[in-house]
Structure 1
Amino acid sequence: MGLFKKNPFGHILFLKRWLIRIMGALTHRRFKGFNQLQIVGSEIIKDLPENNVLFVSNHQTYFADVVAMFHVFNASLHGRVDSIKNIGYLWDPKLNIYFVAAKETMSSGLLPKVLAYAGSVSIERTWRAQGKEVNRQVKMSDVSNISKALNDGWVVTFPQGTTKPWKPIRRGTAHIIKQNKPLVVPIVIDGFRRSFDKKGIRIKKKGILQSMEIKQPLEIDYENESVEAIVEKLEYAIEQHPSFLKVIPQKELEAQEELNKQRQWRY
């Protein structure tokens, strides 16, 4: 690899490699130390194609969720099954992993900018800006950048577009799926909301069992399934369909909502 070789977004791979190594080493104990990350299904990762893979997941913090996924993906590619033990896997990380994030979030400070260089595909949210509800057109350049990232490698997206649970899936994700025909791999996470502040930077509580379940790729008829059908399939896959609310005790829902309120001040 040339020292100044770049990815399709103009990021120097040598620099990106070292950012992932350093950030990975600094964050490892957040998932195997202060808290423990329970992983299920990571054997799926090593058999995935090199590119055009879209991971869809529920969302609990701005940054900790995707950092944990970087750890799990790279550990799995280096032969660790359901484990991130021994951070040697960081020495040779997969460099074409990207994640979709709000441009506003990724430009809000030095750390977000570093994380953005490590793999963000930053987009302008069409429904919210600077804490207010908006309604604006999708930027075609954002859609093009997600397609560019899929063409180059793997992309993680959080199709609800928020860390609040039980919010609807954004239809844009289904349009991306129909357009690019990626292999869609669902991920369900839990425990991150209890472990970290809302941004996923500060450790709020230690000794929390975090979990990440990587499911089998979805079967999708890209040509014939409607956007609505794909949206519903995603809701079930990441366990955020409204029907799941019927089997969750009301007290637990109230506790989750109270926890969300407590996390607001850490914005």
Structure 2
Amino acid sequence: MSLFKRNPFGHILFLKKWIIRIFGLISHRRYRKFNNLQIEGSEILRNLPDKNVLFISNHQTYFADVAAMFHVFNAALSGRDDSIKNIGYIWKPKLNVYFVAAGETMRSGLLPKLFAYAGSVSIDRTWRNAGKDVNRQVKNSDISNIGKAIKDGWVITFPQGTTTPFKPIRRGTAHIIKTCKPIVVPIVIDGFRRSFDKKGLNIKKRNVLQSMVIKKPLEIDYENESVADIVTKIEYAIEQHPSFLKVLTPKQAEEYIKEEEELNKQREFWSS
């Protein structure tokens, strides 16, 4: 690889590789020691083409979700089955992996800017800015950049556009799917909200079982399915359809919390 070879966004791949290596080394213990990341579906990743793949996922933290996916993707491509044990896989990371993120988040400091260089496709959200609700037009350049990333490799997106669970799916994701016609792979994560703060930078609780389930690619009729149909498929695929939401009475909620506490005890794997 040429020392100054760049990707379609002008990022020098040599620098990107070292950023991924360094952050990979720093973050690895968050999923292997402080907490335990359980993985399903590594074989699906190995059977995907090198480009034109869109991963859709529910969202729990700003950065920890994506960092975990970088680990899982590279470990799987290195031959590991549902494991990120032995971090040697990070030495030769897949460099055409991107993730869609809010521009204001990725410009909020030096650390996010470094994360952005590792693969962010930054967009301006049309519904939210600086913590306030807004209503503005989609930038054509944002759509173009996502399409450019899909054409070049693998792209991770969070169709709800927020870490709050069971929020509506943004229709823009369905439009991108119909336009770019990528292979769409759902991922369902859990445990990240319990183990990290909202940004995903600080460990909030240890000994939490984190999970990541990679599902089979969705079957989509790009020409004939409507945007609404694709939105519904996404909701079910990432388990954020309203039917997954439990409607609880106060008494049921109390019992549910107790069950969750017991479940968390069972999930502990690392003695303090």
Q: What is the TM-score when the length of structure 2 is the normalising length? A: 0.92
Partner of 1:260: none
Summarize the alignment of residues 106-255 of structure 1 with structure 2, pairs less than 5 Å apart.
106-246=106-246, 251=253
The residue number in structure 2 matching 1:259 is none
Equivalent position amino acid for 1:126 in 2: T
What is the Cα deviation at residue 245 of structure 1? Answer: 1.3
Q: CA deviation at 1:42?
A: 1.2
**In the TM superposition, what is the alpha-carbon distance from 1:252 to its structure 2 partner?**
7.5
Alpha-carbon shift at residue 78 of structure 1 (Å): 0.1
Instruction: Mark the runs of 5 or more structure 1 residues left unpaired by the alignment.
Output: 256-267
Deviation at 1:14, TM superposition (A): 0.3
Q: What is the Cα deviation at residue 97 of structure 1?
A: 0.1
Match of 1:265 in 2: none
User: Which aligned pairs between 1:58-97 and structure 2 lie closer than 5 A?
Assistant: 58-97=58-97
Matched letter for residue 27 of structure 1 = S
Superposition deviation, residue 64 in structure 1? 0.0
How far apart are the structure 2 equivalents of 1:168 and 1:254? 24
What root-mean-square deviation, in Å, do the aligned CA atoms of Structure 1 and Structure 2 show?
Answer: 1.4
* Pair 74,134 (structure 1): closer, same or farther in 2 beyond 3 Å: same
- Tell me the percent identity: 76
Structure 2 unaligned spans of 5+: 258-272
Q: Structure 1 segments of 4 or more deviating over 3 A?
A: 246-250, 252-255
Tell me which residue corresponds to 1:25. 25
C-alpha deviations, 1:152-187, integer Å up to 9, x for none?
000000000000000000000000000000000000
Deviation at 1:251, TM superposition (A): 1.6
Structure 1 38/5 Cα, relative in aligned 2: closer, same or farther at 3 Å? same
Aligned length: 255
Distance 2:48 2:200 in 1: 28
Alpha-carbon deviation of 1:254? 8.7
Q: Which amino acid in structure 1 is aligned with residue 3 of structure 2?
A: L
Q: Which amino acid aligns with 2:172?
A: G
Could you tell me how far 1:247 is from its partner in structure 2?
A: 7.5
Distance in 2 between the 1:231 and 1:204 partners?
Answer: 33
| Residue number in structure 2 paired with 1:4 | 4
The code of the aligned residue for 1:190 comes to D
In 1: Cα distance, 2:97 partner to 2:255 partner: 33
Separation in 1 of the partners of 2:81 and 2:234?
A: 25
Indicate how the Cα distance of structure 1 residues 206 and 246 shifts in structure 2: closer, same or farther if over 3 A, else same: closer
Q: Which amino acid aligns with 1:38?
A: Q
Provide TM-score, normalisation by structure 1: 0.93
Q: Residue type of the partner of 1:92?
A: K
Greater C-alpha Rg: 2
